[in-house]
Structure 1
Amino acid sequence: MHEVDVAIIGAGTAGMVAYGEVRKKTDRIALIEGGPFGTTCARVGCMPSKLLIAAADARHRLSTLPAFGIHSDAGTVDGRAVMKRVREERDRFASFAKDAVESFDQHHIVRAYAAFEDPHTLVLNAASDGTLPAFKRIRAERIIIASGSRPRIAEPLRAAGDRLVVNDDVFDWQDLPGSVAVFGAGAVGVELGQALHRLGVRVHMFSRGGSIAGISDPAVREVAVRILGAEIPSSLDARDVRIERDGNVVIVHFIDDDGVSRSERFDYLLAATGRAPNVESLALQHSGLALDARGVPDFDPQTMQAGDSHVFLAGDANANREVLHETADEGHLAGTNAMSFPAVYKHARRTPLGIVFSDPQIAFAGRTHAQLLTDGVDFAIGDVSFENQGRSRVMLVNHGLLRVYGEQDSGLLLGAEMIGPENEHLAHLLAWTIQMRMTVRQVLDMPFYHPVIEEGLRTALRKLLGVLGMGPHVPLSCIDCGPGV
């Protein structure tokens, strides 16, 4: 039996950050990892997907050149070269996490998979590479679960057999395929679907219920469906879907959004239907913890503590905020509170911020339209269309809609949802101002340069101020730039 003060299950972002915090206070640590070291982001998530998107965007920009009076015969796609760069740069990013792990005290590293035997005891099993741990059990005073997540695959999709892939597999392709059916119109499905389409792959995107990229504001969703649907063949409310194999071809039978029965043939089926926390193999029934309907321990997101126990959850394993900066925050909080246990401290979380790297980009900051309705908040809405926004039109990226939400009585800026050009930057500005608890008028008193896309945000905020009934905002005028400047 190996005894430690803290056992950390998982060496992704959350686990590594938690290790850094725990290491400040004790040398009695076990960092347990049975699979590959490193982060989902670097290996199969954020970074390789952005590499593929960058290649797709570079080619797409060429198609807009004639509108500027510029002509080019460039744009031929070398799929093998595209994927070679994706893999090489992906491996470079992943190596940083590997280097970080190698810098840890190697006496703390345990190559194994872990499962609970009782609330304080973990049983160890061989790692994915066959490595056997030096001991079979670890007893820990405190335990941090940071076991990450994996792609969720709906059972009917498995009929595609070995032609079924997830985003992890895409980044190991040696060449681009001829056609892909993308199932799921969330962030991963939209990003990869559009990127593959722009690189010359025939793509059809499938979903249910008309949702796209997690947008909850119906006006923003309508614009997003129109813009992305005009580019990518999509069935966002496909019904009676049936998957069939014919040799190396996947056949998708479905009723499309217009009620027409159709069948299409594809080289691959990409499942982008969300992620599931890696908790099934942890034998949590022996942990003494209360579990929710997903089998995840109930926990406080401001402390990461499961109930009042000695167990803490961090990162994708808790299925709470599955983005890297939040995962790192959770690792820090879990590590800090594990070392201070039984004294546990609450920490205010950052303002929610989400970005989908489609083109136009989709983003939200603060509370979403759906959250405000669910919480019964009395709020008003201001908006701006990017169709005639000055700088956007100059650059021929004038597509999209931004909607901002403000509280009726106080005038506080509460949140926003958007699709539009370079909205990753607007989303950051909005998240910062919301976290600072600024009112709509206070944000409008900040400087806005001219001509920039951010002027569109100012237009939406002016409208919101008027709807809130808090008087006009008197700006410097621009009589020659059109509406939405």
Structure 2
Amino acid sequence: MYDLIIIGAGTAGISAYKAAVKYTQNILVINDGPWDTTCARVGCMPSKILISSANRMFDSQNIAQVGISTESSFDTTHVMSHVQALRDHFTTATTKDVQSWPKQHRLSGKATFINSNTVEVDGEHYQAKSFILSVGSKPVVNQEWKDILKEKFITSDEIFELKKLPSSLAVIGSGVIAIELAQAFSRLGVKTTIFARSKRIGILSSPALQALAQQQLSKELNIYFETLPISVNLIDRQVELNFKHDGEQQTERFDYLLNATGRSSLLNALNLDKIDSQFSDIKKLPIHPQTKQLVNLPIFIAGDAYTDTPLQHEAANEGRKLVSNCLNYPKIESVKNLTSLGIVFCSPEMAIAGQSYKQLYEQDIDFITGFSSYEKQGRALTLGKNIGGAEVYIDKKTRKLLGAELFVNSAEHLAHLLCWMIQQEITLDEILEQPFYHPTLEEGLRSALKHARRQLSSI
């Protein structure tokens, strides 16, 4: 019997193994599929490579914003091969690391549970005192559309395998994956149209910033809000979409349909109902939100197999922390101890640090909002990136920073600063005592913080 079996060798599983092997060699990692991570292979990294190419091209085309004239022409023939080559660099590094593990610690195959301490792989049984389930997720697929469109229906798992950029692309969804990829392909010259179920884009919950984002991104992207295809067809090797928008029936054709409507857990492949019949519906699994424990069993779930924060750094943290719960069972501790941080790499970038506007509002927390527009912010103007704004949320009683939402250039960096401030639980007054160099984008945050302080002073 093993001390620990880890099922799934993605970010969470690899992180868990590296933590566990420091304490025990009686360990096994079972993995079905490639021994790399979703992030490196089909997620974070290839998408950011594509976005980098797209943004370089877009900035070159709009260089007049900083007083330079050019008549550049662009050849995008090699964009996808560049994405694939650099993507392979990242996946190779991960795979090489995994292959350095002792062979007796690795097993390729599909694991299914026989009971609470036994799994089966290719007819063989393996027992453990505890388990970490880090099987990850897969893109949601509309199987009816997939059957009709065949290889013309793609998800984020397949889009980076395209040999060349398509001429046109329909994107279903308006969340993180949808908006990042849609804008990147559009900036690379692909005729791109977004079909969004709701009138919401990205992750922003602030009504003011959500409106700003819709307004700004609609200038660059063709977005049909509150509109989904009624039917799809494959005509002359093109995707034909029939839909109703503004009361009118319309038909458009595209080279591909990218379904980007989220991801679903792979936990259902583990036959958890063999442990307990109540586990047959994975959407209703009794998993503790803080400890990630499945009821009172020595079975824990890490990463995006079951989470409302499907993020690489969250998965890595959970993988590490859960090892302690497994090896010290039944002594259990919380593993959800990081301040929330979410980023969308569109342009301008979106970010939420700490609690969102919606979370604070729904909890009926008494807070005030400090706002700063970046349209006239000094550093943003010099960069030709003067778009969007920032909001900070301050507790009226404690004057502590509770959260922030951003729709600005370099939000990925600004959000980290705000997240660290929230983690340290410092007050508005203490934040404003810190240095803000001139001229920087951070000064825009100071403007939002000062706006909050003025409101507090008037109370």
TM-score range, shorter chain: over 0.9
**Structure 2 residue aligned with 1:273:** 261
* Residue aligning to 1:54: 52
In structure 1, the residue corresponding to 2:162 is in which secondary structure? coil
**Distance in 2 of aligned mates of 1:239 and 1:272:** 12
Aligned AA (1:147): V
1:481 maps to what in 2?
Answer: none
Paired position in structure 2 for 1:185? 174
Stretches of structure 1 lacking an aligned partner (at least 5 in a row):
126-134, 472-485
Measure the CA separation in 1 of the matches of 2:416 and 2:430.
Answer: 17
2:70 to 72, 85, 93: 72
For 2:274, the equivalent position in structure 1 comes to 286
Deviates more, 1:339-348 or 1:227-236: 339-348
Mapping 1:350-361, distance limit 5 Å: 350-361=338-349
Q: Kindly provide the CA deviation profile for residues 209-255 of structure 1, in whole angstroms up to 9, marking residues without a partner as x.
A: 11111221111110000110110101121156322221311111112
Change in 2 beyond 3 A, CA 1:384/1:171 = same
8 Å contact from structure 1 (residues 362, 420) kept in 2: yes
Task: Write the distance in 1 (CA, Å) between the matches of 2:136 and 2:335.
Answer: 22
**2:29 alignment partner, SS class:** strand
Deviation digits for residues 119-169 of structure 1 (CA, Å, limit 9, x no counterpart): 1110113xxxxxxxxx61111111110101110123454343221001121
- Secondary structure of the corresponding residue to residue 230 of structure 2: strand
Aligned residues: 458
Match of 2:25 in 1: 27
- Structure 1 residue 330 and structure 2 residue 327: aligned? no
Aligned to 2:390: 402
1:300-326 Cα shifts (integer Å, max 9, x gaps) = 343332222110110111133211110
Residue in structure 1 matched with residue 433 of structure 2 by the alignment? 445
Measured in 1, the distance between the counterparts of 2:60 and 2:382 equals: 16
Q: Using a 3 Å threshold, how does the CA distance of structure 1 residues 182 and 434 change in structure 2: closer, same or farther?
A: same
User: How far 1:290 moved relative to its partner?
Assistant: 5.5
Could you tell me how far 1:293 is from its partner in structure 2? 5.7
Taking the TM superposition and a 5 Å limit, the aligned residue runs for 1:162-177 are: 162-177=151-166
Instruction: Give the TM-score, by structure 1 length.
Output: 0.91
Contact 2:291 2:336 in 1 (8 A): no
> TM-score normalized by structure 2?
0.96
Listed as ranges, the gaps of 5+ residues in structure 2 are none
The 1:241/1:315 distance shift into structure 2, 3 A limit, reads: same
State the distance in 2 between where 1:83 and 1:429 align: 34
How many Å separate the matches in 1 of 2:395 and 2:73?
48
Give, in whole Å, the separation in 1 of the partners of 2:74 and 2:29: 47
Instruction: Tell me which moved more, 304-313 or 429-438.
Output: 304-313
Deviation at 1:292, TM superposition (A): 9.1
Q: Which of 126, 138, 142 is matched with 2:126 structurally?
A: 138
State whether residues 355 and 363 of structure 1, in contact with CA within 8 Å, keep that contact through their aligned partners in structure 2: yes
Report if aligned partners of 1:303, 1:333 keep a CA contact under 8 Å in 2.
Answer: no
Which of 104, 120, 139 is residue 117 of structure 2 equivalent to? Answer: 120
Within 1, Cα distance between the matches of 2:407 and 2:201? 11
Residue type matched to 1:212 in 2?
Answer: I
Compared with structure 1, are the counterparts of its residues 305 and 59 closer, same or farther at alpha carbon in structure 2 (3 Å cutoff)?
Answer: same
TM-superposed CA distance for 1:399, in Å, is 0.5
Separation in 2, partners of 1:296, 1:173: 37
Of residues 93-102 and 193-202 in structure 1, the stretch that sits farther from structure 2 once superposed is 93-102
Distance 1:21 1:114 in 2: 22
2:92 matches 1:103:
no
1:83 counterpart letter in structure 2: M
CA RMSD of aligned residues (A): 1.7
1:423 pairs with one of 405, 411, 422: 411
- Shift in Å, 1:173: 1.1
- Tell me: CA distance 1:404–1:166, structure 2 relative to 1, closer, same or farther (3 Å): same
Cα distance between partner residues in 2 of 1:48 and 1:412: 37
Residue identity in the other structure for 2:327: M
Share of identical aligned residues, percent?
Answer: 36
Query: Which residue identity is paired with 2:166?
Result: P
1:7 is paired with a residue whose SS is: strand
